[in-house]
Structure 1
Amino acid sequence: MHDVIIVGAGAAGLVLAAELRLAGVRPLVLERQARRREVPRANGLGGQVVELLRYRGVLERLEAAASPVHAAPSLPFGGLQLDLSHLAEPAYHALAIPQPVLERTLAEYAAELGAEVREGHEVVGLREDAAVTVDVRGPDGPYQLTARYVVGCDGGRSRVREVLGLPFPGTTYPEVNRLVEATVPDSVKRLDNGDLDVPGLGLLRQGFTRTDGGVFAFGAIGAEMLLINTIEEEATEYDDLSPMSEAEFQASVRRVLGGSLTLGEVRRLSRYQWQGRQVPRYRLGRVFLAGDAAHLLASSGASLNLGMLDSVNLAWKLAAAVHGWAPPGLLDSYHAERHYAGSRALLQTSAQAALRRGHDLAADALRTLFQELLTDEQPLRRLAAAIGGTDLRYPMPGSDHPLAGTFAGDFPLATSDIPTSLASLLRPGRPVFVDLADRPELRSVAQAWAPRVEMHTAKTPLRPADALLIRPDAHVAWAAPLDSPADPAGLREALSTWFGTLEGV
């Protein structure tokens, strides 16, 4: 019997496999495709997931395979551009990486940790009793597997979700996005500010251009390539896996702009439709859903970030159950926390859909007013945090500290006079208790959980609290206020809630 079977070897499934291996669980990943798709459906990561990958030491691999992380100068939002370039402190960090490169790198990382991935093995059914029996169709014919837990990371058309009979309520928007990555010939002049001067069309401004025919948008990818996008109202529902021709894209450009845009080298052609959907339950018994199997979002790129964070949240909780020490309610907390995160992402992406879809004078007025509000720093930062998922705060029993429930930001540390950082302590993916103010009365409480929680005493010039208890997903489970009386009972409650009880405690 397998401990955990993961259905789907996309980014969410591969991150889940790697996190389980860090936690000492050996998962099996089943992927129905015999070979990976080379056409990217996303071109980058941003926000909180970038920091989490840095904490795990994976970000440097991704940067080596693609490009360095950068502070995003702007972000698209509902057909508008959020100009972040004038902010003193960056509001959003991004990594430009095509999805196939991301998945190949994650697959190599997971394999190095010992995860097994079987490609060309399709899950066609499952049923649960004392364990979960999985029906698989492989290259050599059908077979069955059993597992203690199964996680569906198999995308928007999830077979796991279908077998569970879970609804997927929401909206498929009647608009079609056509996307191309291409260079442009010398006859199309690229101006210093990024705009294009196109023969027969004139000046096209970088970002979004709205016409009676739809929306035309473009931006630079590196020094030569452009990402060019058309959006048209269209009731036809397409299969996202069906190919799109250059002729189809050019026809869309003519409908939207009223003229042609000559392309040079074409690297990517794809078509997709936006959906805003969320499954009502992320857990049904021993079966869980993560990534696009649990949610689809009405803007590009957001689902990829959200799905990888689902996996990081779930992995250590599943590992605790496999190892036999999961406290009551721990597995259910996955649904509670990540359904909330998905709802927040659905909120902001649905707002984007409303902004971009209006075509009357009232909609134009709304976009104009919204763009004016975005000249102020506070709404810019708030929207950037919502897009990046950095605005989340989970409820944390035992602590009302402002840091409790938030993602732990990195800061320098000195442990036993050795310079390090909080991020380095979180790299192994284990729970961490760090005493920052020499509080022996708190250390004595945390010490009882030492078999499950790593203990550190450190100093820092940027002390955010006297002590921190941090979960493997880098969220603060408990914090001691600066220079205040100790709260051993609150720390004990937090340790018990997230890491179980031990004999004699």
Structure 2
Amino acid sequence: MGLLLAAELALAGADVRVVERLLAEPANSMKAQGINVPTAEALDRRGLLPAAEKVHQEVLERIGSYGTGEGRFTGHFAGMALDPDLVDWADPDLAAHTAAEGARMVPQPQLEALLADHVARLGVPVHRGVEVIALDDTGDRVLVGTDTGSFETGWLVGCDGGHSAVRRLAGIDFPGTDPELTGYQAVADIADPEKLADGWTWTPRGVYRYGPQPGRVATVEFNSPPADRSTPITLDDVQAALRRISGTDVTLTALRATPTRWTDNTRQAATYRKGRVLLAGDAAHVHPPFGGQGLNLGVGDAMNLGWKLGAVIAGRAPEGLLDSYDVERRPLGAWVLDWTRAQIGVLRGDPKSGALREIVADLLSTRDGTTYAVKKVSGVTQRIELPGDHPLIGRYVPDVYLGDGSRLADHAHGGGFLLLDRTSDGAFARIGNGRVNVVTDAHETPAGLLVRPDGVVAWASDTDDAAGLEDALQRWVG
């Protein structure tokens, strides 16, 4: 997610530019249709929540309340909708993250437009129609060659997708599993929609989905991957796949959104950093597009890397800090790869997969099963391994409401570290330094939090005991 990474670097004081091969993305392309809780909270911490909530409401008005309960987005697992009425919304993990819930239904094109406005306000130049064709990491600089000329930079981050030129030119391996299927997503005018069943339908020839909005269709055929994913998708391509799978002569008369073609190609870069070249988003990992996990994973990469690289560029931290980017993000990437692989296994139409699907569907018909799946899909249980025993350490900071009516997230718009001090004598604030934004509040639990710019809690205490705070400040703030 290059735009968000550029914004985080700009907030950290770095001189940054975005080089984009495409002139513009289709405004109505079929991509991820929603975001998870960490992504919504990342927008919240940067003051973008009102804009995201506006998009959320517009989507609800257009497609209705499918996949929501009490205004909450749940999603699906392998085509099996997660019933919001079965979710235990009082579960502590879910209850701790509700402030940004009204900004979950933000489709990827609208998110990209929102972030484009964000980087424009920060003065970040975006050069479109420029393709990277060469790079040379000299050890202290990176020489970048493009089809419009060359430039030097201190660091280069490839956010250029699954076919990343930066990853290839840097010589970073991309191991994983090869594709075995072909999928399409589209929104179309359908002459005879009554020939299609609502929701996901399995047949001996594959699986298709119709809805929830009128004209939205998705198809999956398991016989082979597409011969060429770069060729334009036509109405005939989508119609032929839908007819083969459904066994009907359903007729599509027009495409109302730019369709997408996808596979179950699943890979993760051998390293997220090689010298002065780093990878983020789909350049670092690709997988089937279930639940918009790739979009959210890319946002998490950008938030994690942005402040770290910004600190290194500014001389506030040693280069070794960048090694923690791979250490922290790789396990989450591997989990998403397996989560989507599992859905492909359940989605297949063979008898063994069908039997497994029945078992999973049975589990998802229970309160505990649905709550577990929603927690995983929403991202509220994500955690990285950090020193300390407090249960919040390594987790994304929960909603923290302050005595003055604000929330802790309202104090994070500038992108720096936050130190919440709820001690009676300001004991935690005295340990902080000029690189930390101290927020004081009336005594309550937790008494103190050190929150990194990416929203991860680096230190926490429920009492006036400051044990571990100095170490956390030294480790992360410097």
When normalised by structure 2's length, the TM-score is 0.89
Give the equivalent residue in structure 2 for 1:146. Answer: 152
- Please name the residue that 1:351 is paired with: 342
Residue 491 and residue 236 in structure 1: after superposition, are their counterparts in 2 closer, same or farther (change >3 A)?
Answer: closer
Q: Which residue of 2 aligns with 1:454?
A: 437
- Alpha-carbon distance in structure 2 between the residues aligned to 1:149 and 1:412: 38
Provide the C-alpha distance between the structure 1 equivalents of 2:414 and 2:109, rounded to a whole number of angstroms: 26
**Structure 2: distance between partners of 1:276 and 1:393:** 23
Checking the alignment, whether the CA contact within 8 Å between 1:133 and 1:146 is kept in structure 2 is: yes
Identity %: 35
The alpha-carbon deviation at position 18 of structure 1 amounts to 1.1
Match of 1:191 in 2: none
2:188 touches 2:252 (CA, 8 Å); kept in 1?
Answer: yes
Change (3 A) 1:57 1:73: closer
Superposed, 1:42-441 pairs within 5 Å as 42-65=32-55, 67=57, 71-72=71-72, 74-89=74-89, 93=101, 95-129=104-138, 130-138=140-148, 143-184=149-190, 188=193, 198=194, 201=195, 204=197, 206-221=198-213, 225-263=214-252, 266-268=255-257, 269-300=259-290, 301-327=292-318, 329-357=320-348, 359-360=350-351, 362-397=352-387, 399-414=388-403, 418-441=404-427
Q: Following the alignment from structure 1 to structure 2, what is the Cα–Cα distance between the partners of residues 40 and 239?
A: 18
Residue 459 of structure 1 aligns to a residue in which SS?
Answer: coil
Q: Specify the code of the residue in structure 2 equivalent to 1:424.
A: D
Q: Distance in 2 between matches of 1:303 and 1:459?
A: 40
Q: CA deviation at 1:184?
A: 4.2
User: Which ranges in structure 2 are unaligned for 5 or more consecutive residues?
Assistant: 61-67
Paired residue type of 1:359: D
Change (3 A) 1:239 1:303: farther
SS of residue in 1 equivalent to 2:339? helix
Name the SS of the counterpart of 1:332 in structure 2: helix
1:66/1:101 contact within 8 Å kept: no
Spell out, residue by residue over 1:10-67, the C-alpha distance to the aligned partner (whole angstroms, 9 max, x if none).
xx00001111112222211101122333433333323321122122122322343563
19-28 or 76-85, larger mean C-alpha shift: 76-85
Tell me if structure 2 keeps the 8 A contact 1:385–1:391. yes
User: Cα RMSD over matched residues?
Assistant: 2.2
3-state DSSP of counterpart to 1:494: helix
Counterpart residue number, 2:473: 495
Aligned equivalents of 2:255 and 2:470: distance in 1?
A: 59
- Find the counterpart in structure 1 of residue 18 from structure 2: 29
Letter in 2 for 1:169: P
Distance change (3 Å), C-alpha of 1:288 and 1:73: closer
Deviations 1:447-501 (A, max 9, x none): xx2x2111121137xx441100000001100001x23x6133x11110011011x
Query: In structure 1, what is the Cα distance between the partners aligned to 2:353 and 2:89?
Result: 32
Q: Which has the higher contact order (CA 8 A, sep 6+)?
A: 2
Matched AA of 2:321: L
- Alignment TM-score, normalising by the size of structure 1: 0.85
For residues 385 and 80 of structure 1, what CA distance do their matches in structure 2 show? 15
In structure 2, C-alpha distance between the alignment counterparts of 1:456 and 1:102, rounded to whole Å: 30
Which of structures 1 and 2 has the bigger CA Rg?
Answer: 1
Structure ranking higher in helix proportion: 2
Equivalent residue number for residue 195 of structure 1: none
In the alignment, is the contact (CA less than 8 A) between 2:266 and 2:337 conserved in 1? yes
Instruction: Tell whether the 8 Å contact from 2:74 to 2:374 is kept in structure 1 after alignment.
Output: no
Aligned residues: 455
Aligned twin of 2:65: none
Per the alignment, do residues 162 and 387 of structure 1 end up closer, same or farther by CA in structure 2, a change over 3 Å counting? Answer: same
Counterpart contact for 1:168–1:280, Cα < 8 Å: yes
Q: 1:20 to 1:389 in 2, by over 3 A?
A: same
The 8 Å contact of residues 345 and 386 in structure 1, kept in 2 or not, is answered as no
- How far off its partner does 1:209 sit? 0.7
State how far apart, in whole Å, the 2-side matches of 1:439 and 1:357 are: 61
More strand by share: 1
Q: Which amino acid aligns with 1:331?
A: L
Structure 1 spans left out of the alignment, 5+ residues: 1-11, 189-197, 501-505
Q: Match of 1:96, SS?
A: coil
Q: Report the alpha carbon displacement of residue 172 of structure 1 after superposing the two structures with TM.
A: 2.9
